[in-house]
Homo-oligomer: A and B are copies of this chain.
Amino acid sequence: MVVDRLKQVASHVSGQTGPPHPLDPLSEAEIAQAVAIVRKEHSGLFFNAVTLWEPRKAQMLAWLADPKTAPRPVRTADIVALGLGSKVYDGTVDLEAEKIVSWKLTENVQPLITMEDLQVVEAIVRKDPRVIEQCGIIGIPPEDMHKVYCDPWTIGYDERFGNKIRLQQAFVYYRPNPDDCQYTYPLDFLPIFNTETHEIIHIDIPPVRRPLNKAPPINYHAEAIEKEGGFRDDLKPINITQPEGVSFKVDGRIIDWQKWKVHIGFNYREGLVLSNITFNDKGTERPVFWRLSLAEMVVPYGNPEHPHPRKHAFDLGEYGAGYMTNSLTLGCDCKGAIHYMDAAFVNRAGEATSIKNAICIHEEDAGILFKHTDFRDESCTVTRARKLVISQIFTAANYEYCVYWIFHQDGTIQLEVKLTGILNTYPMNPGEDLHGWGTEVYPGVNAHNHQHLFCMRVDPNVDGPNNTVFEVDATRGPGEVGSQENYHGNAFYAKKTKLATAGESKREYDGSTSRTWEMVNPNKINPYSHKPVSYKLVSREVPGLLPKEGGLVWRRAGFARHAIHVTKYSDDQIHPAGRHVPQTSGTPSHGLPAWIAANPAENIDNTDIVLWHTFGLTHFPAPEDFPIMPAEPMTLLLRPRNFFTSNPCMDIRPSHSSTPTAVAKGQAVAVGDPASRLVGGGECCAK
């Protein structure tokens, strides 16, 4: 059997024995096999995506519950292919039966733009006579066309061109020298590129022209800094080592760390996917989340002047957080003791390729986990925290997004996103009034206002799949000051509002009530608090979508209209802006708005649900962000509330612990940290 042979290949590559876990991404061998199966029946195809068709949840849960008897989910590939004439095919392939399960021509859609699609544009732009003409108008002579660069983006949606032709728009730049930062020299016109025919079909030209920026280059790479005066020399090394090894175990793609178990998946679209997350509570593996991922994002820009209103990007749905992911390097991106995982993809030609070190897994010290000192006698227990970080970094043209899924020993899961990279820029004339839509971050460089809005898909599994979401608001109690029931006016409580139907689940953030959302299991009551077990979403960076209702971004990025949506689980609802995002008009809106509109009365109480949360930030650029932006962090927490019966991490050995009795006797239990040192000499308390 071919499958057996492929399994052997896969196990050789991954060091894994036995068949892949049903949630493992497709291996290179499996991708190649899927393509071969398709090719047997269909010719003339290019491949846009070949990825794991995730097992249906019901089947997967049945298998996990009884892996010996229940049928093992079949390895299946989910395929997007392109035929001539911008034809799009969606299909699935059974890799075990070696057959196509489904195959269809999908009309009026454009699948995402791959790195290969992006790479092809620049050379063609440089040669296009109309581009050369435009360059001439703003001061670039024809012999300098090799100094013109472009960052292609999907076109988003432009009503002039619709969605029949697969388009990119080319943000064009100039580099005086190949090593100069091109974002200092944005050009003022925008070629539109036909991805299939490799032609420039149109150029958007602004009403007011802006000649090439004359400001000197500003660069951040090492050679430039050496030339500018060199590096500071007062930063001493800091070493982080784990001489006895790491505290996590890796079994295939399942990580076992500090009572957590999590399967680490990865796909071209969402990048990291964490599945079947459980926490071992005193010997019982309690399910917490079935699946967590960043499922979509949108970056709307705030300049209403032509040709900018169209400028917005769905970095996941239009390009793919997997496809754009960085190959990470030890000691640079990742410090300490690092475990990497690679990521396999298909290319346009149907070959399997891999990005090495796509995922970084490591532990960090996380400061104090808990501490208390008894003021009477100074008896004290202090325990330090550790965290496990599962991360990737992806580059979306000018920007980088660093995504950290962080597991804490107290049962908290944290998502941290850091923004770095370079601002998208546009030229400006000297003294030009930017009307508040952007900032001159460097002479002649206008960086437009924009938002980074991420949609986190949370499939809760809080002690089982049947969960309910409550909105929780810190609320003043009834009774005026001076009344008997509330004499000093100090009463307050957590007001909990059940979200019972999908239609009523579209909720906003409210900072004034410190609003959170609890995912509870109403069938499982905490024996102490008598409240249902829950995980609480604590998210404070929730700016809301600024583009107006009815406008282009509002229509296309329906998921971003509200901080929260809740839907009944469906195997097919992964992508909140739809399966194929480029060149959607937003009329109708795909994804979340459509799913909910189809049945707004759908019950989401005590059933298998998915919570979609849009968070992010609004970015008003400043010169500090240029020419490369110091990382700007944003974070959210998923915290256990009434889930455990007590602090679940008291069995971590404290650094220091003394009881009143021990203090009286002059004894204390201290482990300390033999590696710590006083500046100027001196070792740890425990020595």
Contacts and interface: CB of A to CB of B under 8 A. Distances in A.
Contact of A240 (B218, B240, B334, B540): B240
B494 A449 contact: yes
A202 interface: no
A540 B673 CA distance: 34
Query: Chain A interface: which size bin?
Result: 35 or more
A93 B576 CA distance: 68
Contacts of A678: 330, 337-340
Contacts of A57: none
Contact of A480 (B178, B397, B513, B548): B548
Interface stretch (A31-39, A471-479, A567-575, A605-613): A471-479
Nearest to A372: B421
A408 B486 CA distance: 45
Interface string A392-419: 0101011010100000111110000010
A642 interface: yes
Given A301-B490, A372-B420, A420-B371, A440 B381 contact: no
Contacts of A677: 241-242, 330, 336-338
Contact of A623 (B235, B479, B645, B673): B645
A133 interface: no
A651 B232 contact: yes
Most interface-central of A220, A228, A682 (chain B CB within 10 A): A220
A225 B391 CA distance: 33
Copies per complex of this chain? 2
A675 interface: yes
B653 A626 contact: no
Contacts of A333: 368, 371, 382, 655
A488 B122 CA distance: 28
A335 B656 CA distance: 13
A64 B35 CA distance: 73
A137 interface: no
A370 B420 contact: yes
Given A309-B488, A338-B678, A372-B422, 12 more contacts: A229-B651, A232-B653, A239-B242, A309-B487, A330-B683, A332-B382, A367-B402, A410-B630, A474-B618, A481-B549, A489-B552, A540-B541
Q: Enumerate the 8 nearest inter-chain pairs by beta-carbon distance, A residue then B residue, closest first.
A: A511-B511, A489-B551, A489-B548, A331-B673, A331-B684, A410-B630, A222-B657, A332-B655
